[in-house]
Structure 1
Amino acid sequence: MRETRRILLDGTAVDVVRHGDTLVAGDGRSIGVDEARHLPPVAPSKIICVHLNYSSRVAEMMTKLPPAPTYFHKPISALNAHGSAVVRPLGCKWLNYEGEIGIVIGRTARNISPAEAGDYIRGYTVGNDYGLHDFRDTDSGSMLRVKGADTLCPLGPGVVEGWDFRGKGIRTLVNGVAKQDGNTDEMKWDMHYLVADIARTITLQPGDVLLSGTPAISRTVYPGDVVEVEVEGLGLLRNKIIEGPSGVRTDVGAQPTESEEVLSTAQGGDWEFRGIRKPDLSKTF
C-alpha cells in the first residue's frame, strides 16, 4: 500500500509520501508525521455522501433502507484537514460526528459497472461527516445547511492506495473514549457499487470524494472535545471542536430549532424525550 498526504512545507502546499514516521516530498525534503501541518489530502470538484448504508445505523434510527442508495452533497467549502478545528457556530448546539470512509476517484468515471469501478478509484481516506442538526428542519431533507457548513468535512490524514475495504474496522472516539465501533461488512452497498451508481448520471473527476456512510451512535459533541476517526489500514483523523466567534445571522433565513426530529437525531437513544415516539426518518434522513 502507498499513502500520500498534502501538507504545508516551508509555507507551500506540497504532496508527500509517507515512509513510516516521516513524510517525504518529491524534492527530498522531509518532516516528521507529527510535526506536519496537514491540508485536505485531495482537491475534489464535488463531495457526495450516501445517507444510510451501515446496518447498525439503520437499526438505530428505527427505519429501513430504500431499494437503492440516496445521496446528498457537501460543498467543497466544507473541506477541512487532520489536526484542524471544526467550528460550531455560536448559538448552535447540536453538532454531531459521523465517522466515515472516503472513496477518492482516480480516473474520470462515467457509465461504468460495479465490476469496473475499482479501476477508477485512486484510494481511500478517513472522513468525518459532521452534521449541524440545529438546521435539520430546513432545506426539505437536502441536508445542505446540516452538512454543508464551513469546516464540517475533515478528510485525511492521507490517501491510501491499494487498500481492500472488505472486513475493516471503523471507530470514532471522543476524548479518547470509543463511541462508534463498526465494520465495513455492515455496508449494504459497497464502495464499488456507490461509485458505479453515481457515475450513471454524474461524471466523477479525479480527486472527487464519495463518503460511504457511518455506523451507529452518531452523537453530539461540544467545544473542547477532541474527535478521532480511526479506520483499520487507513489511519486516524483527529479534530478539535471549537465555538465560532459569531452566530448565524438572525435577520435572514431559517433559524436553529430544537424540534423532536432535531433532538431525536442528535441524541439518538439517549435523548431526554425518549418516551415520545421517534419520527419516521426514512423520508428525510
Structure 2
Amino acid sequence: MTEYRRILLDGAATQVVRDGDDLRAADGRRVRAADAVHLPPCEPSKVVAVHLNHRSRVEEFQTRLPPAPTYFHKPVSALNAHGGAVVRPERCRYLNYEGEIAIVIGRTARNISAKEAGGYIAGYTVANDYGLHDFRDTDAGSMLRVKGSDTLCPLGPGLVTDWDFHGKYLRTYVNGELVQDGSTGEMEWDMHYLVADIARTITLFPGDVLLSGTPANSRPVQPGDVVEVEAEGLGRLRNHIVAGPVPVRDDCGAQPTESEEVISTAFGGDWQFRGIRPPRR
C-alpha cells in the first residue's frame, strides 16, 4: 500500500508520499506529517454519499434497508481536510459526526460491473460526513444544507492505494472517547457495488468521491470538541468544531428548527419515541 497526501508546501498545493513520520515530495523536499497543512487528498468533481448501509445504523433507527441503496450529493464547496475546522453556524445546534470510508475514483467509470469496479478505484480515505440536522425539515429529500454546508466534508489524511476493505474497523472518537465502533463487515453493499451502482447512469471521473455510510451512534457535537475518525489501515482523520461567527440569515429561506424529526435524527431515533427532548448545551 502507498499513502498519498496533498499539502500546502511552501505555499503551493503539492502531492506527497508518506514516508514514516515524514511526507516526501517528488523533488525530495520533506516535512513532518504532524507539522503539515493538509488539503483534501483528492480533487473531486462530485461527492456522492449513500444514505444507509451499516446494519447497526439501520437497527438504531428501527427501520429496514431499502431493496437497493439510495444516495445524496454533497457539493465540493463542503470539502475540508485533516486538521481543518468544521463550522457549526450560529443559531444551529444539531451538527452530527458520521465516521465513514470514502472511495476515490481513479479512472473514468461508466456502465461497469461490480466485478470490474476495483480496477476503477484509485484508493480509499477516511471521511466524516457531518450533518447539520437543524435544516432537516426543509432539506430531507435533497439533504443539500444538512450535508452540503461549508466545511462539512472532511477527507484525509491521505489516499491509500491497494487497501483491502474487507473486515476493517471504523471508529469515531470525540475528545478521545470512543463514540462509534463499526466495521466494513456490517455494510450491506460493499465498495465495488456502490461504484458500479452509481456508474450505471452517472459518469465517475478521476478524483470523484463516494461515501460508503456510517455505523450507529451519530450524535451532535459542540464548538470546542475534537472529532477523530479512524479506519483500519487508512489512518485517523482529525477535525475540531468551531462556532460560526455570523448567524444564519433570517430574512430569507427556511430557518433552523427543533422538530421531532430533527431531534429524532440527531439523537439516533430514540427521542421521537420517548416523547422527550435532549438537554440543552
* Partner residue, 2:220: 220
* Partner residue, 2:279: none
Partners in 1 of 2:192 and 2:268 — Cα distance? 30
Residue type at the aligned position of 1:200: R
Q: Assess, with a 3 A threshold, how the Cα gap between structure 1 residues 270 and 241 changes in structure 2: closer, same or farther.
A: farther
What is the deviation of 1:269? 5.5
Consecutive unaligned residues of structure 1, counting only runs of 5 or more, are: 278-285
- 1:71-110 matched pairs, under 5 angstroms: 71-110=71-110
Partners in 2 of 1:44 and 1:248 — Cα distance? 27
The SS at the match of 1:138 is helix
- 1:1-285 matched pairs, under 5 angstroms: 1-268=1-268, 271=271, 274-276=273-275
Q: Deviations over 1:119-174 (max 9, x none)?
A: 00000000000000000001342111100000000000000001000000000000
The SS at the match of 2:197 is helix
Aligned length: 276
Identical positions, percent:
73
Please give the root-mean-square deviation of Cα atoms over the aligned residues, in Å: 1.1
Q: Deviations over 1:52-94 (max 9, x none)?
A: 0000000001111110000000000000000010000011000
Q: Give me the TM-score of the superposition, normalised by structure 2.
A: 0.97
What is the deviation of 1:276? 3.1
* Partner residue, 1:283: none
Runs of 4+, deviation exceeding 4 Å: none
Q: Assess, with a 3 A threshold, how the Cα gap between structure 1 residues 269 and 52 changes in structure 2: closer, same or farther.
A: closer
Q: Assess, with a 3 A threshold, how the Cα gap between structure 1 residues 274 and 213 changes in structure 2: closer, same or farther.
A: same
Q: Deviations over 1:36-58 (max 9, x none)?
A: 01001110000000000000000
Consecutive unaligned residues of structure 2, counting only runs of 5 or more, are: 277-281
